[in-house]
Amino acid sequence: MAVLMAKKKKKDDKLRGSQRSLTSPGIVSVSRRYDLEITENPIRDPRISRELIELNQWCYEVVHALDMAASDTFASDDGDDQGWVVAKTLDDEETPVNPEVFAIAEDIRLRKQNFSTYMIGGDRLKKALRWALGKGECFLELGIEREGLSANKSKDFGVAKTLYLPTFEMFRKETDQGELIGFEQRKYVSESDPDYFFEPYKICHIRHEPDFLYGRSLWLASLDAWADVKQAFDNLIRASNDLGVSPTLHIMPGISTEQERIYERELEIRRKSGIITDHILSYPGQDIRKMTNFNSDLTGLVDTLLQCRYKLIIPGFPTYFFPGLESKGGTKELSRSPDRRYSRMRYGWCQLLSGAIKQVIDTEIILRKGLDFYAENARNKYRILWPEWSESIDGMSGGEVEDTDSDLTDEETNKQPVKKININQND
């Protein structure tokens, strides 16, 4: 990527992708796409993609888990909006980062593309994390423009903007040997004429647990469970409606067909006038009563629905995050392994985002200072730090906890120090 950027002709490389889906089924007027929040129309692997989009938008367990993951990754004790920061020293905590590298990295961290939106800093990458975990990946386009910071026009370029692109309209292009060629945004599966093509340095491809070209959603293996949840919920609603409405029996032995019609017309007129509070028995032997339902137990259907919902909880997420699915183990269980596993998962999410952050910073350094300066002073020579994170619930903390502490009491566990989170991902 760095060599390609160095050889590329110097010119503005502004945003050119579309954040809106290129195809919007059901919308007659194309201009209406700009007024509505339309879920993207998946092109790549549409069957699975549609299920993942539905899961990310409508499944309570998934939506809540993604919100918690994004909030916990960026949360800090003092509630600021700075998100990640750049360390002033290397791993040894003594060697300082090159001053120019640090200054450029800080400029990127604080840069805004408009009055309210950070370019890559702050909480700009919250959505990237939600998409990467929920959909498997996120594509972020970099807009490279003149900055007006240098008298040398050939070095007066920088990353000015970022743009989220529809996940399932994006295609990653590689050779058979694994060399990245670029990215395409298409409204058709055919690759003969892509709508937009992007050079490798133009896209931050944030992939969660990639198998080959693309990432893997945390809930990819839970699509069958989501189908079971929908079926179990429909069954429960249908059974509840059947039990909640007891039919009224009008018993009138020996009446003629004409008398039956008159009675039905009068009853219909009374229903339209409001709630019927009383009836007059007009015929010999007439009786009016409610039908008794002898099978009013919904326990089996409720248990089935709960079991299906449990399948949507990703291992590592404490069940107390999800109302109605709390673990019966209580405090003792939550103060041991689940909190530590969730803490380690958060470290992995920080590392996932750090790769994208370093790509943007590296791009800015190469554009400003050149490839030789980057190779000598910046490549793997700065670190990304994330906010300290802790929870006061049952000893849950963001600090790394050694397995040797597993015999501590709850009170002693809560007193363990929270360590600084240091993510140093090598390129």
Characterise 202 by phi-psi region: left (phi > 0), alpha (psi -120 to 50), beta (else): alpha
Whether 407 shows a pLDDT value over 60: the answer reads no
Which residues share a beta bridge with 207?
A: 137
Asked if residue 156 and residue 177 are part of one domain, the reply reads: yes
Closest CA to 296 of 347, 352, 241, 359: 241
Out of 17-31, 293-307, 340-354, least confident range: 17-31
The token duo for 369 is 């200072």
- pLDDT given for residue 141 in this prediction: 95
Asked if residue 303 and residue 162 are part of one domain, the reply reads: no
Classified as helix, coil or strand, 292 is: coil
Mean pLDDT in residue range 356-365: 95
- pLDDT given for residue 190 in this prediction: 74
Whether 107 shows a pLDDT value over 90: the answer reads yes
Whether 212 shows a pLDDT value over 80: the answer reads yes
Half-sphere exposure of 228 (CA within 13 A, CB side): 17
Asked if residue 237 and residue 172 are part of one domain, the reply reads: no
Query: Where is mean pLDDT largest: 166-170, 260-264, 388-392, 396-400?
Result: 166-170
Q: Return d(Cα 308, Cα 228) in angstroms, integer.
A: 6
Phi, psi (degrees; rounded to nearest 5) at 273: -80, -10
- pLDDT given for residue 203 in this prediction: 95
Whether 356 shows a pLDDT value over 50: the answer reads yes
Asked if residue 59 and residue 195 are part of one domain, the reply reads: yes
Q: Return d(Cα 110, Cα 73) in angstroms, integer.
A: 18
**CA-derived radius of gyration, the chain:** 30
Characterise 143 by phi-psi region: left (phi > 0), alpha (psi -120 to 50), beta (else): beta
Asked if residue 228 and residue 197 are part of one domain, the reply reads: no
Asked if residue 236 and residue 192 are part of one domain, the reply reads: no
Of 266, 300, 329, which residue constitutes the final position of a domain?
A: 329
Q: What's CA 405's distance to the chain center, in Å?
A: 33
Asked if residue 342 and residue 324 are part of one domain, the reply reads: no
Q: What is the mean pLDDT of the chain?
A: 79
Neighbours of 104 (CB within 10 A): 22
Asked if residue 135 and residue 173 are part of one domain, the reply reads: yes
Whether 412 shows a pLDDT value over 60: the answer reads no
Instruction: Specify the amino acid at residue 345.
Output: M
Mean pLDDT in residue range 328-341: 57
User: 206 lies in which domain range?
Assistant: 2-219+335-423
Which residues share a beta bridge with 196?
A: 185
Q: Return d(Cα 15, Cα 193) in angstroms, integer.
A: 19
* Torsion sign, CA atoms 303, 56, 174, 200: negative
pLDDT in tens, 368-386: 899 999 999 999 999 999 9
% helix, strand, coil for the chain, step of 5: 40, 15, 45
Whether 133 shows a pLDDT value over 70: the answer reads yes
pLDDT in tens, 283-319: 888 888 777 665 567 777 888 888 888 888 888 887 7
In this predicted model, which residue has the larger pLDDT, 396 or 75?
75
Classified as helix, coil or strand, 337 is: helix
Whether 391 shows a pLDDT value over 70: the answer reads no
Classified as helix, coil or strand, 95 is: coil
Classified as helix, coil or strand, 223 is: helix
Of 329, 356, 388, which residue constitutes the final position of a domain?
A: 329
Asked if residue 379 and residue 248 are part of one domain, the reply reads: no
- pLDDT given for residue 157 in this prediction: 85
| Distance spanning both ends of the chain, measured CA to CA | 11
Asked if residue 289 and residue 234 are part of one domain, the reply reads: yes
* Torsion sign, CA atoms 241, 242, 244, 247: positive
Whether 408 shows a pLDDT value over 70: the answer reads no
In this predicted model, which residue has the larger pLDDT, 53 or 318?
53
Instruction: Specify the amino acid at residue 302.
Output: V
Whether 188 shows a pLDDT value over 70: the answer reads yes
Cβ–Cβ under 8 Å, residues 346 and 72 = yes
Cβ–Cβ under 8 Å, residues 183 and 172 = yes
Q: Taking CA 73 as the corner, what is the angle to CA 409 and CA 422, rounded to the nearest 5 degrees?
A: 80
Characterise 416 by phi-psi region: left (phi > 0), alpha (psi -120 to 50), beta (else): beta
Asked if residue 408 and residue 378 are part of one domain, the reply reads: yes
Q: Return d(Cα 152, Cα 299) in angstroms, integer.
A: 74
Whether 414 shows a pLDDT value over 90: the answer reads no
Q: Return d(Cα 248, Cα 245) in angstroms, integer.
A: 9
Q: Return d(Cα 112, Cα 162) in angstroms, integer.
A: 10
What is the total count of domains within the chain? 2
- Say what percent of the chain tops pLDDT 90: 30
Whether 405 shows a pLDDT value over 60: the answer reads no
In this predicted model, which residue has the larger pLDDT, 266 or 20?
266
Q: DSSP for 355-403?
A: HHHHHHHHHHHHHHH-HHHHHHHTTT---EEE---B--STT-BSS---G
Mean pLDDT in residue range 49-66: 89
Whether 12 shows a pLDDT value over 80: the answer reads no
Of 267, 300, 329, which residue constitutes the final position of a domain?
A: 329
Classified as helix, coil or strand, 37 is: coil
Whether 418 shows a pLDDT value over 60: the answer reads no
- pLDDT given for residue 379 in this prediction: 92
- Look-up of token digits 């009383």: 278
Out of 177-181, 216-220, 387-391, least confident range: 387-391
Pairing state of beta strands 180-185 and 196-198? antiparallel
Q: Return d(Cα 81, Cα 121) in angstroms, integer.
A: 9
pTM value is 0.74
Asked if residue 109 and residue 178 are part of one domain, the reply reads: yes
Mean pLDDT in residue range 30-44: 63
